[in-house]
Amino acid sequence: MSRKYKIHNPFGLYFVTFTVIDWIDVFIRDEYRAVVISSIKYCQRNKGLEVYAYCFMTSHIHLIIAAKGVLPLEGIIRDLKAFTSRHIRKLLEPNEQVFESREWMLQRMYYKGKYNINNIDFQFWQQHSHPIELISNEMVDQKLDYIHFNPVKAGFVDVPEAWTYSSARDYAGTSKGLIDLVYL
């Protein structure tokens, strides 16, 4: 991985993207989003994660985040991705409550995990998060607009604040979003 995509300042402000392997549209279901939201909230309360902006798309999540001194950001991201991967895997595993076939998703995730030396047998997230440190107001504004307009560009909504799974609603003042924010 290039030096460009590393966290050099463990307590800096970063734009990151968590992407499901093969861009699988997992986050079309509330149960999977709920795992990530709950984990983010846990990291906010217990690990010093600060969330400034977010947007859940169908196969990836954009965040502007920082660490406030409890753990370095790299450690928080590692823990967050590991926890959510394990818990979403449990939800994907076959059980008598599930009426749809998720086997193809699991096959891809087991295949990717088997052939990635960083995993044992399963991979949910792509390895990288492409962290970009936001070192100027212009960079912050650009990434904030990018995050909030992502669902508009994808054709899901006409205006950013109409997307339920985004901090655009918080910034527009139309309603409180799903995750507590530190405002930019």
pLDDT tens for 97-144 read: 555 557 777 777 767 777 776 667 778 899 889 999 999 999 999 999
Q: What is the mean pLDDT of residues 82-98?
A: 81
Which among 80, 106, 144 has a CA at the least distance from the CA of 21? 106
Q: What is the mean pLDDT of residues 79-105?
A: 79
Which among 49, 51, 50, 48 has a CA at the least distance from the CA of 70? 48
Beta bridge partners, 63, equal: 16, 54
Q: What is the mean pLDDT of the chain?
A: 89
Q: Where are the domains positioned within the chain? A: 3-92+125-172
* Predicted TM-score (pTM) of this structure: 0.87
Does residue 167 carry a pLDDT above 90?
A: yes
Q: What is the mean pLDDT of residues 167-178?
A: 93
Average the pLDDT over each of 67-71, 86-90, 120-124 and give the range with the smallest value.
120-124
Q: What pLDDT does residue 1 have?
A: 43
**CATH of the domain spanning 3-92+125-172, picked from 3.20.20.140, 3.30.70.1290, 3.40.190.10, 3.40.1080.10:** 3.30.70.1290
Q: Where are the alpha helices (DSSP H) in the chain?
A: 30-46, 73-92, 103-114, 137-153, 168-172
CA distances from 66 to 46, 138, 157, 176, 178 (A): 14, 17, 28, 21, 18
Cα distance between residue 46 and residue 110, in whole Å = 31
